Amino acid sequence: LDLIRRNGKNLLRLVNQLLDLSRLESGSMTVEYQQGDIMSFLEYLLESFRSLADRKRLNIHFRAPVDRLLMDFDPEKIQTIVVNLLSNAVKFTPEGGEVGLSAEEISQDGRPYLSLQVNDDGPGIPPEHLPHIFDRFYQADTSSTREAEGSGIGLTLVRELVELLSGSITVQSEEGKGTQFVVLLPITRQARVPEETPSLEVVGSSEDLSGLAGFPDATERSGKWPIVLIVEDNPDVIRYLRSILEERYQIETAANGRLGLEKAIEVIPDLIISDVMMPEMDGYELCDR
């Protein structure tokens, strides 16, 4: 049951991230700025990893030269960026290692920026892989013995979100010594100040965090829900996938590739989840069509 639950949440994360990327590419993802204390928000996000870090005996910490820094930011977008970066750092840092999140205001070309840094002392990234780590579906470790799972989408989503926020992201890494990601975001103070602090679910495990990264925000879910088409000939699998996704997506189903193709033409889904071996038309032929 734990394996099923974990794989289900991994699937949900993958669906969320793919649809977020689709919205970014189509230009339909909006930014909802509000003014608040970014330092307390970042520290909150780091603390969400505390129980997971304790289980791996990792030393995690948040460092900032000031206690408060008011600026405009989109809580959902910042959360997705930071959670993805911290998730990778915690995932790849071996037991007894160190993961840090730091933030400070800096000046660049006469303009104020927020500098976010995520550091770890994990295995590092080989230099030949560094130019490609933000590429979609790229994984630095493709060996059959790799120790951590991943879809190769998280860093692509992070880069796209950072650019949506008019920022930049860079990475430095040395094999055997660790990795550092640096995100620069412009500081403005023009948005409204919310009556309450952004309310986000407190999480405490890698699976829970996976669900948060790439979660559709409230404004996007209030309109037309994204459509997910499930093409699968096993009714039990369909029921299981529906139970995972139906609270956040409009679900359409088809029992084989031929029906799946007809349904895809009819509803034009945002994403298709397809089995491979099916009667009448298999998943490969469906993709070719």
**What domains, with CATH codes, occur in the chain?**
2-216 (3.30.565.10), 224-288 (3.40.50.2300)
**Tokens linked to 279:** 């009667």
> In whole angstroms, what is the distance from residue 70 CA to residue 245 CA?
36
Q: Is the pTM for the entire model greater than 0.75?
A: no
> In whole angstroms, what is the distance from residue 27 CA to residue 120 CA?
33
Residue 175 is given by DSSP the state T
Strand residues in 147-222 grouped as ranges (E): 168-174, 178-186
Q: Tell me the Ramachandran region of residue 156: left when phi exceeds 0, alpha when psi lies from -120 to 50, beta otherwise.
A: alpha
Tens digits of pLDDT across the chain (289 residues): 555 565 666 666 667 777 787 888 888 889 999 999 999 999 999 998 988 899 899 999 999 999 999 999 999 999 999 999 999 999 889 999 999 999 999 999 999 999 999 999 999 998 998 888 888 766 655 443 334 444 467 898 999 999 999 999 999 999 989 999 999 999 999 998 876 655 444 444 444 443 444 444 433 443 478 899 999 888 877 887 888 788 888 999 998 899 999 999 999 998 898 888 888 888 888 888 8
Three-state DSSP at 255 gives coil
User: Scanning the structure block, which residue is given the tokens 């994204």?
Assistant: 226
Other beta carbons less than 10 A from residue 70's beta carbon: 13
